């Protein structure tokens, strides 16, 4: 019999029952639902709906169920129940008979499901924060080891100016610091307890909701029951934080795929995290990075599907909301797994320093230095830029780097150019000059690494 037998005279159609079920997804909320039910039974005891003995019995049975599922939560899936809430209630009733039927007094599956889901989110966010921490730590470690590894930085995927691999690592560090802070913000907002909201208008029983919220470990209780049972902002907020972070991981992957390509050859990934080709013996493919890039699409898609799920839903609870969990669970697991594999990748990168440096010198990455040199000699920047362009045109026709141009040749473009031009346009000076806050100079980077290590060790 279902939870609502009284009003119905017909048995549900078999296919409808299957279509209506969510147990195969929400069984993952079993621990949260048991914890919630124990706290609810205590709240009912305080208002004398349950006696002290009755509450104790309920708590003991709920804990026994918890032990059972801790060994193997998949046993839940053998049942035909509609969802995890009805599954637990059925188990309670089969152990305690009439007493088991008292637990649902004053609550609804509407406030129950969103409280469970928020508890699950709080648990999962903590896991994700730990994984972000690991990723950040490995970025800083790798940066520290590669402070002198000069390579080209790109715009439009064209060599632009020299940077270092450490600096590249620190760029991703900034992105993941923002992800972390967004996640903490989202956590703060979702940390309000909806239990005690009833079906939609509040519970008719004199429950102390602030106390209940405390017991369940929430920051505070929600303030409007109609909103409480229909709010799924936290689901789309977490999914959007996940999507942004997955976009970061996807860009990280794309950069590394490029650095790893045969043409560029800046890095090598160790055998343990790459795979070969079934046909071409020479291949060593960056599969893990490609998979991260692809999985980003799945997470963004799940955000979109949840936003569309909510769009136009009337207040308050609608069964549509049952569909939010699968995509949230899936996205959070993808995110965690991609962070984990990214840590593994960071631990398995070797730099091809010679190639990096050789590339940094190619493509006139010191053109800005030449323009800046002319500015220092008194030429306005626009004209200096134009003049430098002309010199590069000349050099590229003869396949020369700027350093290879003779001083007499330079002087044809500007009399102001002197012998000191050469020390102004070499790689080291280009890096050294960018010493303002956030710049690429060795000294800025090493200061930043020291600061970040301190923050990580706190």
Nearer to ligand ARG by C-beta: 163 or 321? 321
Nearer to ligand ARG by C-beta: 109 or 361? 109
Q: Is 95 marked active-site?
A: no
CB atoms within 10 A of CB 319: 8
CA–CA dist 336, 230 (Å, integer):
27
Our finding on whether 232 is near ligand ARG (CB under 6 A) is no
Our finding on whether 452 is near ligand ARG (CB under 6 A) is no
In whole angstroms, how close is the CB of 86 to ligand ARG at the nearest point? 8
> Strand (E) positions, 75-228?
150-155, 158-164, 192-193, 220-221
8 Å CB contact between 210 and 327 = no
Our finding on whether 33 is near ligand ARG (CB under 6 A) is no
> 36-74 burial string, b = 16+ CB within 10 Å, else e?
bbbbbbbbbbeeebbeeebbebbbebbeebbeebeeeee
**CA dihedral sign of residues 329, 331, 334, 336:** negative
Residues in the chain: 458
Mark 150-189 with x for binding to ligand ARG (rule: CB under 6 A) and - for no binding.
Answer: ----------------------------------------
How many chain residues touch ligand ARG (CB under 6 A)?
Answer: 10
Our finding on whether 26 is near ligand ARG (CB under 6 A) is yes
User: Which range, of 70-78, 106-114, 367-375, 442-450, touches ligand ARG by CB under 6 A?
Assistant: 106-114
Q: Is 155 helix (H, G, I), strand (E, B) or coil?
A: strand
Give the closest residue to 447 by CA, choosing from 98, 170, 181, 124: 170
Nearer to ligand ARG by C-beta: 35 or 252? 35
Q: Is 156 marked active-site?
A: yes
Residue 173 CA to its chain's centroid (Å): 13
In whole angstroms, how close is the CB of 108 to ligand ARG at the nearest point? 7
SS3 of 160-192: the string is EEEEEHHHHHHHHHHHHHHHHHHHHHHHHHHCE
Our finding on whether 317 is near ligand ARG (CB under 6 A) is yes
Nearer to ligand ARG by C-beta: 110 or 245? 110
155 φ, ψ (degrees, to nearest 5): -130, 145
Nearer to ligand ARG by C-beta: 317 or 373? 317
Our finding on whether 22 is near ligand ARG (CB under 6 A) is yes
Rounded to the nearest 10 degrees, how much is the dihedral formed by the CA atoms of 195, 199, 203, 209? 10
Structure tokens at 327: 């995509």
In whole angstroms, how close is the CB of 84 to ligand ARG at the nearest point? 8
Q: What is the DSSP secondary-structure string of 233-284?
A: HHHHHHHHHHHHHHHHHHHHHHHHHHHHSTTT--EEE-GGG-B--SS-TT--
Q: Which of 45, 57, 91, 109 binds ligand ARG (CB under 6 A)?
A: 109
Residues 6+ apart with CB under 8 A from 81: 21, 23, 87, 90
Our finding on whether 235 is near ligand ARG (CB under 6 A) is no
Span 356-395, contacts to ligand ARG by CB under 6 A: none
User: Which range, of 107-115, 156-164, 182-190, 340-348, touches ligand ARG by CB under 6 A?
Assistant: 107-115
User: Which range, of 156-164, 317-325, 343-351, 421-429, touches ligand ARG by CB under 6 A?
Assistant: 317-325
Our finding on whether 322 is near ligand ARG (CB under 6 A) is yes
Q: Which of 321, 334, 374, 405 binds ligand ARG (CB under 6 A)?
A: 321
Give the closest residue to 247 by CA, choosing from 180, 177, 294: 294
Nearer to ligand ARG by C-beta: 26 or 372? 26
Q: Is 302 helix (H, G, I), strand (E, B) or coil?
A: helix
User: Which range, of 55-63, 319-327, 374-382, 443-451, touches ligand ARG by CB under 6 A?
Assistant: 319-327
Q: Per the residue annotation, which of 2, 94, 277, 396 is the catalytic one? A: 277
Nearer to ligand ARG by C-beta: 209 or 232? 232
400 φ, ψ (degrees, to nearest 5): -110, 150
Our finding on whether 113 is near ligand ARG (CB under 6 A) is yes
Our finding on whether 88 is near ligand ARG (CB under 6 A) is no
Our finding on whether 83 is near ligand ARG (CB under 6 A) is yes
Nearer to ligand ARG by C-beta: 167 or 317? 317
8 Å CB contact between 30 and 92 = no
CA–CA dist 102, 45 (Å, integer):
11
In whole angstroms, how close is the CB of 321 to ligand ARG at the nearest point? 5
Our finding on whether 110 is near ligand ARG (CB under 6 A) is yes
Residues that bind ligand ARG (CB under 6 A): 22, 26, 83, 109-110, 113, 317, 319, 321-322
Q: Could you list the active site residues?
A: 156, 277
């Amino acid at each position: 019999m279902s939870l609502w037998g009284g009003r119905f005279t017909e048995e549900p159609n078999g296919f409808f029952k299957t279509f209506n079920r969510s147990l195969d997804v929400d069984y993952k909320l079993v621990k949260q639902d048991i914890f919630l039910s124990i706290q609810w039974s205590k709240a009912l005891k305080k208002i004398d709906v349950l006696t002290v003995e009755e509450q104790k019995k309920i708590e003991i049975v709920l804990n026994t169920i918890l032990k059972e599922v801790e060994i193997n939560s998949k046993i839940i899936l053998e049942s035909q129940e509609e969802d995890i809430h009805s599954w637990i209630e059925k188990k309670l009733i089969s152990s305690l008979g009439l007493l088991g039927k008292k637990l649902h007094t004053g609550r609804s599956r509407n406030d129950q499901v969103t409280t469970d889901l928020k508890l699950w989110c709080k648990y999962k966010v903590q896991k994700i924060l730990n994984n972000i921490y690991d990723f950040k730590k490995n970025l800083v470690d790798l940066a520290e080891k590669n402070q002198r590894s000069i390579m080209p930085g790109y715009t439009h995927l064209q060599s632009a100016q020299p940077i270092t691999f450490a600096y590249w690592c620190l760029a991703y560090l900034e992105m993941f610091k923002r992800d972390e802070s967004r996640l903490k913000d989202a956590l703060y907002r979702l940390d309000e307890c909806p239990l005690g909201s009833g079906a939609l208008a509040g519970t008719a029983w004199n429950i102390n909701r602030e106390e209940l919220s405390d017991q369940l470990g929430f920051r505070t209780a929600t303030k409007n029951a109609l909103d409480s049972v229909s709010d799924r902002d936290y689901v789309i907020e977490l999914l959007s934080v996940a999507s942004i972070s997955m976009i970061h991981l996807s860009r990280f992957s794309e950069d590394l795929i490029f650095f790893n390509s045969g043409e560029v050859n800046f890095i090598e990934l160790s055998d343990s995290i790459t795979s070969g080709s079934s046909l071409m013996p020479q291949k060593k493919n960056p599969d893990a990075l490609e998979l991260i890039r692809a999985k980003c699409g799945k997470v963004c898609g799940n955000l979109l599907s949840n936003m569309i799920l909510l769009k136009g839903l009337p207040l308050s609870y609608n069964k549509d909301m049952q569909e939010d969990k699968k995509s949230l669970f899936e996205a959070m697991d993808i995110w965690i797994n991609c962070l984990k594999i990214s840590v593994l990748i960071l631990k398995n990168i070797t730099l091809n320093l010679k190639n990096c440096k050789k590339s940094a010198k190619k493509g006139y990455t010191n053109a800005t230095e030449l323009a800046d040199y002319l500015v220092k000699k008194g030429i306005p920047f626009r004209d200096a830029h134009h003049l430098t362009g002309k010199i590069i045109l000349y050099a590229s026709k003869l396949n020369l780097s700027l350093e290879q141009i003779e001083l007499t040749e330079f002087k044809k473009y500007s009399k102001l150019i002197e012998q000191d031009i050469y020390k102004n346009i070499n790689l080291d000076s280009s890096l050294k000059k960018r010493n303002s806050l956030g710049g690429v100079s060795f000294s800025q980077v090493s200061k930043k690494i020291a600061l970040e290590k301190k923050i990580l060790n706190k």
